[in-house]
Structures are given as C-alpha cells and as structure tokens.
Amino acid sequence: MIYGVFFVIAFGISFLITPQIKKLAIAIGAVDQPEQRKVHSKVMPRMGGLAICLAFFIPLIMVLKFNILHISSPIFTEQQIIGFLIGGAIIILVGLIDDKYQISAKYKFLGQLIAASIVIYSGIQVQFITLPDQGVFEFGWLSIPITLLWIIGITNALNLIDGLDGLAAGVASIALATISIIGFAMGNVIVAFMALLLLASTLGFLVHNFYPAKIFMGDTGALFLGYNLAIFSILGFKHVTLISFIIPILILGVPIADTLFAIVRRFLSKQAISEPDKHHLHHCLLKMGCSHRQTVLIIYTISMFFSATAIIFTQAEAWMALTILGLLFIVFAIGADVINILNRRERFIVRFIEDSIGKQIPEKQNYKANR
C-alpha cells in the first residue's frame, strides 16, 4: 500500500510540473530545432527530463531522510547513497547545459566520467560473479573499468534511442518495471522501490511526451534515466551468477543492441564513433514504411520481449537459459539484417531467406515523418 502511495506521488509531481518545465524551456531558449538528421519539423521545447528528476528525487529524499519505509539495505550504504545522489546531480547539470547550449560530446563524456567515478569511489561496483560450480570469480582491479564502462555505456545508450516521441521514456519505463519486479522477487526492496519511483516519474512525463509530443525530455532526461538504469542494475545484480549476469543486459537489450550496431556501422563506414547518423533502429523502421506511432509501439514490444526473457532467466536452469539466449541472438540477428541496421549493401541473411522462399524482401522506402 505504501509503495502505491509514493508511486502516485511521483507520478503526480511529474505530470503536474512538466507543463511548467515546458514554459521554462521556451523562456530560456532550451528548444530543439528541426534538422536533416531529426524527424520533427517544428521547434520543440526540451529539458522535460527535469520533471522526471524532480519527481524522482523529492519523494526519494523524503523516504531516505525520515526512513519512512523502514528499509534496511546492506547493499546500499550511506556513502553509496551520497555517491549516487552526487553523481545524479552532475548528470542532471550536464544534461541541462546541453539542452540549453548544445555542448560537444567530449564535454558530456567528461561530465559522465566524473559522475561515474564518484559512484565507483562511493563503493558501487560490479565486484564478482558466482560460477556454476559454486566458485567465485573476483574481478579485482578490473571491477573499476568494468563498472565505469557499464555506467557510461548505458547512460549514452538510452540517449541514442531518444529519437521519436515517447520512445526513450517508454523503453526506460519497461526496463524500470522489470527491474522493480525482479527486485521485489529477489528481496532487494530498496532497488525495487527506487526503480518503482523512477518508473512513476517517467510515466507522468510520458503522458506529455507520447506522440504527438508536447515536450522532449532532452539530454537532461535521457542521460538521467540511463544513469539510473545503470546504477540500479549494478545494485540489483552486483553479486550474481554467470548466467544471471545476462539479466541486466537483457533488460536493457534495445538500447544496448542499438548502440552496438551504431558502433559497428560507423566503424564499417569509417565514421567517427561519436558522429550521429540516421540509421538507428527507429530510423530503419520508419524507412520500411512504419508510421511514427507504429515504430514506437514495435520497439516497445521488442523491449517487453527482452524484459520477459530477463524475468524467465531468473527462474531458468543454466541449459534452458543458454538455449533461450541462443534463440534470442538468432532472431535478433535476422531482424537486424532484414531492416539493414548496419546500412550495408550486402545482407547475407536476407539473401539466404530470399533464396529459400523464392521471393524478394522489400527494400527500405523513403519516408517523411513529423516528430
């Protein structure tokens, strides 16, 4: 019951202050201009992620300060809480500055690096995994670069898919709901509750952000959501088995896969890794003829499939988990080749399918879509 009360509080704060954030964004010039790489055709206020941040932090700080829920968590010490809050504040600051001034990627990376370093220094790290034979593999000094790579990688991964109305907020909501479900099931109440609070805050904003959007979350929201998803997954699965180490990767399957494809695609095209393009998952679906709303709903469905698989993983035997993972990889590889997410002329899987069925798979179409 008490969890529901705070869920409603966080949702209400986010829903009610988002229109005020919209007015503030317009007043200070934190707006998104149309350009060739983007799919919206009019000036849009961003910085909407600030509503998510406030709706999350206000009830969270209240709960932590007064210990309203009487939660005792050995995996989340006072020092770690302070590190998490300071890191989050830095991420928000970086996002706000970028939403207003459009700073370069290197400065955003520097801010993320500082935030991640503070989190790691506070003691939030992936330290070891339990092996199938009940042994333990200690990461040792590697825990620092592994944790750093995970936090920065997930923080940016969610930002990369923030290209359509409601896309990043919806995908993040599905991931947060999954983390909360698994957290409560595993008895990790503090992480489950924090994920629940952020879920409510994101859903309150999504009401204003779903197609056709009235405001964008901007880097303030995308980076903050990615940062929290990275931290929650570390806290929720920091001492895990080799098989369940896959769970947070599955939960965040869509942004992780889209990021990896983007890195490979730009490498093959001899582009800088940080150089933006128009070949992300949502762009590919739009080029195949899907509408804006259909594209978002398709990616929601893919995210829910990944999340359902993650939940199954928590209960599956090792052999079943590996079988599911193998099938998932095959299906995703076929889908990626069909939509040509790598933007290559040669598509070997598509050619094999066409030869097998004796029918050509339609190529991408030119599209016009207003965000």
Annotated binding site for Mg(2+): 159, 219
Which residue in 203, 211, 267, 236 sits closest to 18, CA to CA? 203
- The first and second tokens of residue 8, run together, are 């409603």
Burial class (CB in 10 A: 0-12, 13-18, 19+), 198: buried
The amino acid at residue 142 is L
Give whole-number Cα distances, 249 to 76, 139, 210, 257, 312, in Å.
21, 18, 26, 9, 14
Characterize 31-52 residue by residue with b for buried, 16 or more Cβ atoms within 10 angstroms of its Cβ, and e for exposed.
Answer: bbeeeeeebbeeebbbbbbbbb
Tell me how far apart the alpha carbons of residues 291 and 287 are, in angstroms, rounded to a whole number.
9
Q: Residue with structure tokens 């008490």?
A: 2
Binding residues, as ranges, are 159, 219
Residue with tokens 């010490």: 77
